[in-house]
Structure 1
């Protein structure tokens, strides 16, 4: 049993959290090269931590040995959302997942399809109307917000505009507190972001509880009828499902999709993706591989264990880095290249090697709904638009926390395909 490469450092002084959060991708790349290992150790959040940057290590952590590694009970997600399917451990997590799975599959998923289609059309039909380049991340975030509030809370922007805007503002305040320091402080004329987030959470919970008590339709009604552990469980899960986290993740992936397929040189790829649903699926897998919306996830070793043949002592943290896992050269040839064809070749059937939304028994419970939405939104774009960067030269360097996207929001010009065809016909 080999020792983890690297050094866990000493308490406080040896902590590398700040360096990691400033540039998680560079942090891991440098240490993978230094240690010549895609699994190494450092001190993160003042805890000795194994960093997992290989497919093998990720699969062991999240699937084969998932029972040995627990969610951190002191994690900020627990403070912000309470006990949910994301934060619970052991039998509680299994029971919650069993109860909630029906909401994201089968007839429930089918019943959402018409609404998803209508939201995509309403939010994307005017991208070319102004004649000006669009800030795509903001546009896609609005699309994602309309989607989650309509699907999960039965609140639609066009039917209840005031309530909709109130919830959007509260979700934004709640999110900003999630990514701020967890210090609950109030003084005259100032309060910490975390304190503001807790206030926003309380107001959101009042709206959610009112919905659960009085709305028997759709997702709210189905959630309220489930056999959940206690009276707060349904409202805590609704708070999670409507959080700004989901629209930002959807916006991240849609932004990366439009950037990857931008410009005249990608016109054939766009046409093929529009005509062949299987090829669109492979394009989206490759977008997810290269630009995962979340940097990874963290666990705590509940007992001595091994990951990729390396000893991880009890009490160590273990964090998988999706960006690095997805670029493991042992699994993905030409790991930094955008090659959708890999998913019908060497990597066919290996979608489970991706961990953008987790993997194994604790993977995202809404992944089918997410994939359905992404395909609907992308298909609408492909059927109705050509697009390109405007201006053509932009800084597209990504920032990876809290949700990945270009640090400088990219702007893209959209031209309706109907207009393009008309122009071609006129010229002829």
Structure 2
């Protein structure tokens, strides 16, 4: 493990303790948030290690960017660490599977999994098909389209229809209200977690507004549960492990902006690759060859994970990829870095779907886009049903291409996406 006070800067031998950070070591939070990718890459080079320590959020922190290291962190099951963002994020979302760890997380995941089996996803498919067909039919291609916004709107409607049973052809006013609330609620994630009024303005802080939006969304959820006696929420009520508060909090999670933004991120990243002039042929290949489509989606996960990573706090000495991290330290694990670990992926900074041809499940487990083992995404089957339906339907009807001379650079926080509203041109595909 490398440290800023080491001279020369070399990682400590495997099995050694990361040691104690000197009190005068400057906090690196600003540098990280300013450009997390650049922060990691610079330190990985300086310390000659994909695992190094610094001071982050005023706490000695180990940054983990090796693939093996990330697997260690995500598979600990809460035995050595606790979630580093539960106090803050828990206020925004309430207690749910996202902030549950250890044995309770495994039990909750098993309970929720029964709602996302292959058979269950098939029952959701009709709703997905209906909304996707409607949105694509109404797409105005007379001018360039910002696909990120298009995808986000479509997935938002899918989620609210599936999880709350809303039909937006009849309740467009409710849709506008809910989407406005989910936007305000989401902004709390990237704000300073203080619920107060801004001095001199009389306005509530962004975080306070997010908490107020959360309360209003929960009111909508309770109202929908009372008036609609069918659909996903009714199945959720049949899970004995969930009390009333847990049911409402999970519906809040599933209908919040979190899922639409994550899926819109993956869909946009896919489109950016196949929309390049020298890769347009990939679109037809995806339609003709399902295996190639799967390879594309695996590579999109690897190269463009929607979420940068996460944070945990070590509760007792914890070994990560051969390094012992002392209790009291924090861990920031970086999914994007683990996905570009050169010891695992050849030419990691090249987008190359062919690397997944004939890949095994063990190789695919080196992707952490949807978590890992007990921290895996319970709704992954549904996610892929939505993504594949959208892409297949869109590509059958249109050929898309990027508008020339655009800034295609990415930002990674809070969700990975292009820094600007990247535009695409659409051409109707011949029958």
- Are the structure 2 counterparts of residues 122 and 83 from structure 1 closer, same or farther at C-alpha, using a change threshold of 3 Å? same
Q: Is the 8 A contact 1:396 1:408 kept in 2?
A: yes
1:68 corresponds to: 80
Structure 2 vs 1, CA of residues 300 and 85 (structure 1 numbering), >3 Å: closer, same or farther?
A: same
Q: What residue number does 1:357 align with?
A: 370
User: Which residue of the partner structure matches residue 425 of structure 1?
Assistant: none
Cα distance in 1 for partners of 2:271, 2:17 equals 40
Alignment map for 1:407-426 (pairs within 5 Å) = 407-418=419-430
Distance 1:263 1:126, change over 3 A: farther
| Secondary structure of 1:86 counterpart | helix
Q: How many residues align?
A: 416
The answer to whether the 8 Å contact 2:18/2:326 transfers is no
Residue matched to 2:35: 23
Instruction: Give the counterpart of 1:98 among 110, 121, 139.
Output: 110
2:319 is aligned to 306
Residue pair 2:141, 2:425 contacting (<8 A) in 1 also:
no
User: For residues 278 and 257 of structure 1, do their structure 2 counterparts lie closer, same or farther at Cα, with a shift above 3 Å needed?
Assistant: same
Partner of 1:232 in structure 2?
A: 245
Match of 1:144 in 2: 155
- Give the match for residue 354 of structure 2: 341
TM-score after normalising by structure 1: 0.92
Shift of 1:190: 0.7
The correspondence for 1:87, drawn from 85, 99, 118, is 99
For residues 17 and 87 of structure 2, the distance between their equivalents in structure 1, rounded to whole angstroms, comes to: 24
| Unmatched segments (≥5 aa) in structure 1 | 422-428
Take 1:215 and 1:99, find their aligned partners in 2: how far apart are those partners?
A: 23
The change in CA–CA distance for 1:118 and 1:190 in structure 2 (over 3 A counts) is same
Structure 1, 183-192 or 17-26: larger mean CA deviation: 183-192
Q: Which residue of 1 aligns with 2:190?
A: 179
Tell me how far apart the structure 1 counterparts of residues 134 and 163 of structure 2 sit (CA, whole Å).
18
The equivalent of 1:37 in structure 2 is 49
- Are the counterparts in 1 of residues 77 and 101 from structure 2 also a CA contact under 8 Å? no
Q: What's the offset of the Cα at 1:20?
A: 0.7
Task: Give the whole-Å Cα distance in 1 for the aligned partners of 2:116 and 2:402.
Answer: 36
Hey, what's the Cα distance between the residues in 1 that align with 2:142 and 2:62? 50
Aligned residue among 382, 390, 395 for 2:407: 395
What SS class does the counterpart of residue 353 from structure 1 fall into? coil
**TM-score, normalised relative to structure 2:** 0.92
CA distance in 2, matches of 1:375, 1:74: 32
Question: What residue in structure 2 maps to residue 371 of structure 1?
Answer: 384
Q: 1:95-174 maps to which residues of 2 (within 5 A)?
A: 95-127=107-139, 129-174=140-185
Pairwise CA distance, 1:208: 0.8
Separation (CA, whole Å) in 2 of partners of 1:303 and 1:263: 48
Stretch deviating more after TM superposition (117-126 or 274-283): 117-126
Distance 1:82 1:272 in 2: 43
Q: 1:89 to 1:34 in 2, by over 3 A?
A: same
Which residue is equivalent to 2:60? 48
Return the offset for 1:6.
9.5
Residue equivalent to 2:208: 195
Aligned to 2:263: 250
Take 1:65 and 1:224, find their aligned partners in 2: how far apart are those partners? 27
C-alpha distance in 2, partners of 1:6/1:395? 42
Aligned to 2:285: 272
Rounded to whole Å, the distance in 1 between the matches of 2:288 and 2:393 is: 12
Residues of 2 paired with 1:269 and 1:201: CA distance? 42
